[in-house]
Amino acid sequence: MGDYLTKINSMIWGAPMIVLILGIGIILTVGCRMIQIRRLPLALKYMVKNEEGGQGDVTSFQALCTALSATIGTGNIVGVATAIVAGGPGALFWLELAGLLGMATKYAEGLLAVKYRTFDDHGKALGGPFYYIENGLGHKWKWLAKMFAFFGAIAGLIGIGTIAQINGITSAAETFFDPEKVNTITLFGNEYSWAVIITGVVVTILVAIVLIGGVQRIARVSEIIVPLMIVIYVGLCLFMIIINISKLPSVIVEIVQSAFGLRAVSGGAMGAMMIAMQKGVARGIFSNESGLGSAPIAAAAAQSKEPVRQGLVSMTGTFIDTLVVCNMTGMAIILTRAWKTGLEGSAVTIYAFSEALPLSQTVASLLLMICLAFFAFTTILGWNYYSERCLSYLTGGNTKFSSAFRFVYIFAVFIGPYLTVSAVWTIADIFNGLMAFPNIIALILLSPVVIKETKSYFARLSASETDDLSSVPLADTSFDDE
């Protein structure tokens, strides 16, 4: 079964998918005139300054934190380590390049999510790829919208949203509390540490408490936990880099050489480069979710009247996730050469922390376990919201299905620790790819709309002699102008 899943994953994440993911990023980067670089300072300002007078369920910052809660998870710690171990230091280069191009992609997703969203009878915002596919491309494309919603619901339930995250949390807990598996119990024919069982039960209960409160509670929890954990984690990684600053130049050279196969044995350069590219791009997408279509589901709930403004806010999510958090993890791993130790998953990053920081391995493991636990916990919350929105679209807004799905989702979190880790990551990658395909098609077809909206917004911004159009008359965002 594992070999079969690996073959499917290799097919989905082969050269065509890499070309599509990077290609749409290039198209949007060129069409929007390097918006992820030129407009990043403005985007960061919008990130912390909520828009005035916008209609939606949560503030722009809460929508971003909800998206970041789903985005920053085990992929930033375990995923980066997995990519570097499998693809070498060069995987970090491709991961970062995918992140830079992904910022333009995430910008487009956030813009389209607000432009083509609708509101139900209770005033709740309904948006995401399924709505910008249906409303932007026309009713004849609804099959593509349903395809995305179907794969999105499954991805959240048995892939990136539940099993991969709870596995990361319980594995870290086991590594810290019971690394030798001294205290175990036999379940389902296998032995598990009590640390895994207790941690799994506690996390499941906490998840259930938050999810019952819906998107508002998820947003409130996320806007507190996510910024705090990012600051703590990035601070630790920066400290590691600073105290090992003398090694930094050689590390940068190693990353670039590895990225282009320059350190491979004779004749193997192209193969080494492709492995580094595949692992880096795949893990980059897993981490920042640019192109997947997940983040625009949260962006659509933002209290915003300007699609471009929300697109800029959404763009900062990829910047924070990949160009900051993932980069910090990767640099720490390469600085300490943890990727050559023969370790796997979170153990690689734990080794990097213990080697680079003037701390014992016990303290380093504790710090990383706490960071990973909070990152993964918030990812579970965010992906529940995504999955429920996907299911709601498929069922025409039937709340009974959504309520039942919530309990199934909680059950998936409960059983997650007892499933095979390697198969979990493979399944997550497969459904990420299946989600991305219909979304990328929509982004390619709607890229002229994104470019037009971008030009219009910044033309009005220049004419208004201000850096915020919250108080300026709203642009035309009707569906019939395309």
* Closest C-alpha among 163, 164, 160 to residue 152: 160
Predicted confidence (pLDDT) per residue in 114-156, tens digit: 999 998 887 888 899 999 999 999 999 999 999 999 999 998 8
Is 372 among the domain residues?
yes
Helices (H), 336-420: 346-356, 361-394, 399-415
Has residue 479 got a pLDDT over 70?
Answer: no
Predicted confidence (pLDDT) per residue in 32-67, tens digit: 999 999 999 999 999 888 777 777 888 888 888 888
Is 75 among the domain residues?
yes
346 or 58: whose pLDDT is higher? 58
Q: What pLDDT, on the 0 to 100 scale, is given for residue 49? A: 84
Element (H, E) at 118: strand 118-119
74 or 342: whose pLDDT is higher? 342
Q: What is the share, in percent, of the chain residues with pLDDT greater than 70?
A: 94
Domain count, the chain: 1
Q: What pLDDT, on the 0 to 100 scale, is given for residue 244? A: 85
Is 467 among the domain residues?
no
Tell me the one-letter amino acid at 15: A
Domain of 19, in residue numbers: 1-454
**Segments of 278-317 assigned E as strands:** none
At residue 309 the predicted structure's pLDDT band, cuts being 50, 70 and 90, is: very high
Q: What pLDDT, on the 0 to 100 scale, is given for residue 93? A: 92
Predicted confidence (pLDDT) per residue in 445-468, tens digit: 999 999 999 999 999 888 887 766
Has residue 266 got a pLDDT over 50?
Answer: no
Q: What pLDDT, on the 0 to 100 scale, is given for residue 472? A: 54
What DSSP designation does 78 have?
A: I
Is 473 among the domain residues?
no
Predicted confidence (pLDDT) per residue in 398-430, tens digit: 888 888 999 999 999 999 888 776 677 788 778
At residue 13 the predicted structure's pLDDT band, cuts being 50, 70 and 90, is: confident
Q: Look up residue 18 and give its two tokens.
A: 């890499």
At residue 176 the predicted structure's pLDDT band, cuts being 50, 70 and 90, is: confident
82 or 267: whose pLDDT is higher? 82
Helices (H), 32-72: 35-38, 40-48, 60-71
* Closest C-alpha among 158, 55, 39 to residue 114: 55
Q: What pLDDT, on the 0 to 100 scale, is given for residue 475? A: 47
Helix (H, G, I), strand (E, B) or coil at 471: coil
At residue 471 the predicted structure's pLDDT band, cuts being 50, 70 and 90, is: low
Has residue 245 got a pLDDT over 70?
Answer: yes
Which CATH number covers residue 318?
A: 1.20.1740.10
Least confident of 297-301, 320-324, 351-355: 351-355
Q: What pLDDT, on the 0 to 100 scale, is given for residue 263? A: 62
Is 14 among the domain residues?
yes
Predicted confidence (pLDDT) per residue in 365-376, tens digit: 788 888 888 888
Is 384 among the domain residues?
yes
Q: What pLDDT, on the 0 to 100 scale, is given for residue 24? A: 94
Q: What pLDDT, on the 0 to 100 scale, is given for residue 124? A: 84
C-alpha span between 461 and 285 (Å, rounded): 32
Q: What is the share, in percent, of the chain residues with pLDDT greater than 90?
A: 34
Least confident of 161-165, 279-283, 346-350, 468-472: 468-472
- Whether 77 and 270 have beta carbons less than 8 Å apart is answered as no
C-alpha span between 222 and 224 (Å, rounded): 5
At residue 473 the predicted structure's pLDDT band, cuts being 50, 70 and 90, is: low
At residue 481 the predicted structure's pLDDT band, cuts being 50, 70 and 90, is: very low
Is 465 among the domain residues?
no
Q: Look up residue 100 and give its two tokens.
A: 């830079």
Taking the alpha carbons at both ends of the chain, their separation in whole angstroms is: 46
Is 38 among the domain residues?
yes
C-alpha span between 275 and 227 (Å, rounded): 33
